[in-house]
Amino acid sequence: MKSVVSLIKKSSLNKNHLKELDNKGFIIIENAEYMKKNLHKLKKKSEILINLEKDKGGWEGKEQYYKKGKKFESGADRLGNLVSKGNEFLGLIKIPEIIHAAQYVTKKEIKVCGLHLRNPSKKLGKQSIHIDGFARSNKKEQYAGIVAFIYLDNTKIQNGAMRIVPGTHKKLGWPDDHININKKMKNEKRLILKAGSIVIANLNIWHAGSTNHSGELRRVIMLNIKSRDYDQLLNYKKYLRDSFKKKLKPIEKYLLAVRNKDPFQKLDSGGSANQKRREYFETKKKKFSSVAKNY
């Protein structure tokens, strides 16, 4: 797609960034132009939405599991379907460095599969080690895509800075096949970052949210981008209103896969790593526990 190519031309990623994506499985972008311009708006709008949606936040596409008073993730505030909740959110899907990294990792045409917010609650928010994509079963299998963690607040040990394990994207299978996912890993790194920083990670990297001891805000927007043959975590063709879709620019329609020629996805929410892991553990007759005590 021509406009994706011109977006990638604006990316500041260099050879070293790409090498780091290959070897470590993630890179940190501290000065994205878009974040300098929009961080304030993103924070304000997120605050309004969290207060407005409360326990209903994050359930888009998974409504069948919702019960009154049940949070999507018990230890965190969540917001879903952010592409339709303000231009400041929609603009995130066109950050050149993110698109560039997604194209580089997949080596294929890409699409946006999800845009969610998470804020770990006071004394909660601890997740076990997981991947946000599907496990690969052989080394030849191409990586599915990336997740960009876009931090709206400074992250510290006290407010639950994410832990991540460099190089683990190369491993096959699920983290559970290799380690006890509830234990601290020796080589895990905590990501202490300034508000506005973006971590672009291979979807197969091992990582987890940590306990927010202090209860300070530690909001992260997670932008999930995969190659176009995978399902979206939210079926945008179905969930976005026609009037909204009509106003989108061609590049946005393409990235969200809502053009007439884009195939219609059967599931409201597809490609959930949590769901796939659940199925895998059922077949192995191993006990399954959700990585984040979510739905």
Please choose which of Fe ion, ligand AKG, none residue 35 contacts, taking the beta carbon within 5 to 8 angstroms, the exact cut-off set by kind.
Answer: none
- Least distance in angstroms from the C-beta of 292 to ligand AKG: 6
Please choose which of ligand AKG, Fe ion, none residue 118 contacts, taking the beta carbon within 5 to 8 angstroms, the exact cut-off set by kind.
Answer: ligand AKG
Q: Are 100 and 8 in contact (CB under 8 A)?
A: yes
Taking CB under 6 A as the criterion, which residues in 138-197 touch ligand AKG?
Answer: 149, 162
User: In the complex with ligand AKG, which residue's Cβ is closer, 7 or 193?
Assistant: 193
Integer Cα distance of 50 and 53 in angstroms? 5
Among 73, 97, 132, 252, binds Fe ion (CB under 5 A): 132
Q: Segment contacting Fe ion (CB under 5 A): 78-86, 94-102, 132-140, 189-197?
A: 132-140
- Least distance in angstroms from the C-beta of 227 to ligand AKG: 20
Integer Cα distance of 83 and 112 in angstroms? 10
Asked if 209 touches ligand AKG (CB under 6 A), the answer is yes
User: In the complex with Fe ion, which residue's Cβ is closer, 132 or 153?
Assistant: 132
Integer Cα distance of 53 and 78 in angstroms? 9
User: In the complex with ligand AKG, which residue's Cβ is closer, 127 or 197?
Assistant: 127
For 39-52, b/e burial (b = at least 16 CB within 10 A) is: beebbebbeebbee
Q: Please report the sign of the dihedral spanned by the C-alpha atoms of residue 14, residue 18, residue 23, residue 28.
A: positive
Going along 52-107, which residue ranges are E strands? 76-79
Contact mark string toward ligand AKG, 33..72, x via CB under 6 A = ----------------------------------------
Q: Are 108 and 226 in contact (CB under 8 A)?
A: no
User: In the complex with ligand AKG, which residue's Cβ is closer, 85 or 118?
Assistant: 118
Asked if 176 touches Fe ion (CB under 5 A), the answer is no
For 189-204, b/e burial (b = at least 16 CB within 10 A) is: eebebebbbbbbbbbb
Residues 6 or more apart whose CB falls under 8 angstroms from that of 153 comprise: 43, 159, 195, 216, 217, 218, 219
DSSP 159-208: TT--EEETTGGG--S-GGGTS-TTSPPTT-EE----TT-EEEEETT-EEE
Output the CA–CA distances (angstroms, integers) from residue 1 to 137, 260, 276, in the order listed: 30, 16, 30
Among 169, 207, 253, 277, binds ligand AKG (CB under 6 A): 207
- Least distance in angstroms from the C-beta of 239 to ligand AKG: 20
Taking CB under 6 A as the criterion, which residues in 99-138 touch ligand AKG?
Answer: 118, 127, 132
User: In the complex with ligand AKG, which residue's Cβ is closer, 96 or 114?
Assistant: 114
User: In the complex with ligand AKG, which residue's Cβ is closer, 171 or 253?
Assistant: 171
User: In the complex with Fe ion, which residue's Cβ is closer, 38 or 210?
Assistant: 210
Taking CB under 6 A as the criterion, which residues in 220-239 touch ligand AKG?
Answer: 220
Q: Are 156 and 192 in contact (CB under 8 A)?
A: yes
* Binding stretches for ligand AKG (CB under 6 A): 118, 127, 132, 149, 162, 207, 209, 220, 292
